[in-house]
Amino acid sequence: MSEAHTFHPTVLREYDIRGIVGKTLTPADARAVGRSFGTVVVRKGGKTVCVGYDGRLSSPELEEALVEGLVSTGLHVLRIGLGPTPMLYFATRDREAAAGIMITGSHNPPDYNGIKMMLGKGPVYGQQILELGTMAAKADWEQGQGSSEKIDVQDEYVARLLKDYDGTRDLKIAWDAGNGASGEILRRLTAKLPGTHVLLFDEIDGNFPNHHPDPTVEANLVDLKKAVAEHGCDIGIGFDGDGDRIGAIDHKGRVVWGDQLVALYAADVLKSHPGATIIADVKASQALFDEIAKHGGNPLMWKTGHSLLKAKMAETGSPLAGEMSGHIFFADKWYGFDDALYCGVRLAGLVSKLNTTLADLRDGLPDMVNTPETRFQIDEERKFAVVEEVKGRVKASGAKVNDIDGVRVTTDDGWWLLRASNTQDVLVARAESYSQDGLERLKNALIEQLVASGLSAPSFEGGGSH
């Protein structure tokens, strides 16, 4: 049982473990993760681990192998079954387990899958993930006689989600689960949530037959927009494949982006946490940081990545953090992890109690003109080097640079950003301005830098207001 294991070099990522099923990620990999991570837990004195899985076709088989690996280290495994990632985070906290592991491919294509981990109350990322590979290569594993049992936490989780609903009037809401892992929980939640609810694609199906479950891509929100219009809904809420990222639509059919949602939540949270630090990632709109300050909060710009933001929240005692990508974290009344179902409940409560519309709330935010997040392919070996080259040149030119995560350059027109993705062989670019002319100047400045590093210019689609 103790032969060493080597992972495919692309699988151990910055925030999680991810690969193509049957090619770069197999049940043998899941078993080895169970043995390595189980060993880490045992050596820290842990005894119990919660395990869950999403709706992908490959998830049950990977979960089986993972549990086998964990049990071989002497741990007791609580198997919560199929559901969204935040339900696994909830179960781990609720049952006071030493750790939690989720088999999920998140919003990746159907042939992908992966593993997200938490140790104690915090995320496992970066060096900790690489360490699992080192342990597996040496077969540095604890041996023990563990056990496992199946538990059902669905009703407890739904009850906890409902507890913080503070709406005062009924709304009509369209929800799009995208055939992802949130479907069953969404049915139970909306059966008890006040108001009228229209559910789309709540059947869990790992083939994702209707649309790709990524609510940050506007093309995936077409059905939700249609449902909002047809049923005369107040708001539309969409989830990604594993239920930790939210997308929203107002009654006029416009997208309310992740950073705009954080701005709306921040105004509410700061009423009960005056002066608190609210965190957002480097891709977020300047309007968000300005809104946080306007409502008396302390805005903090931080690195992109759900694990990094969670860690920063714990360090600063922040009640709220969020990413452009729709990962939003409430530590106000909640546990500090990203839960799109919980964010949906809070959004419904907010719109209901303020006796307004989501559209009006959105229109109350400063109107910025920006590019969508533009991702373009680059050689894995080259991506970080290009960012360093650009950083060197813009700093030498005396520009105002934030280099916490890539390069974010601020000018009188607004700002542009270039950063390397931690999970894919892509560079990510974005620009935002107060005017269309300003946006063109920012895009040209960014393109100039890319060309100087020998790359062809990306095509920035659109340039809509946001």
251 contacts 233 by C-beta, under 8 angstroms: yes
Residue reference for tokens 């192998």 = 65
Query: Which pairing describes strands 17-20 and 112-119: parallel, antiparallel, or unpaired?
Result: antiparallel
* Residue 197, burial from CB neighbour count under 10 angstroms (0-12, 13-18, 19+): buried
19 contacts 76 by C-beta, under 8 angstroms: no
Tell me which of 58, 59, 72, 106 is the catalytic residue.
106
How far CA 294 is from CA of 173, 256, 328, in Å, comes to: 30, 20, 20
Distance (Å, whole) CA 329 – CA 321? 5
Per-residue tokens: 386: 């290009």
142 contacts 49 by C-beta, under 8 angstroms: no
DSSP annotation of 15 reads: S
Residue 295 one-letter amino acid: H
The DSSP H or E segment spanning 435 is: none
The DSSP H or E segment spanning 5 is: none
Per DSSP, what are the bridge partners of residue 425?
none
- Active-site residue flag, 72: no
78 contacts 51 by C-beta, under 8 angstroms: yes
Per-residue tokens: 227: 């449902």
HSE-up of residue 46 (Cα within 13 Å, Cβ side): 29
* Residue 60, burial from CB neighbour count under 10 angstroms (0-12, 13-18, 19+): middle
Query: Which pairing describes strands 246-250 and 235-239: parallel, antiparallel, or unpaired?
Result: antiparallel
Distance (Å, whole) CA 57 – CA 48? 27
328 contacts 336 by C-beta, under 8 angstroms: no
Q: What is the CA radius of gyration of the chain?
A: 22
How far CA 277 is from CA of 161, 332, 333, 434, in Å, comes to: 24, 12, 16, 25
Q: Which residues are catalytic?
A: 106
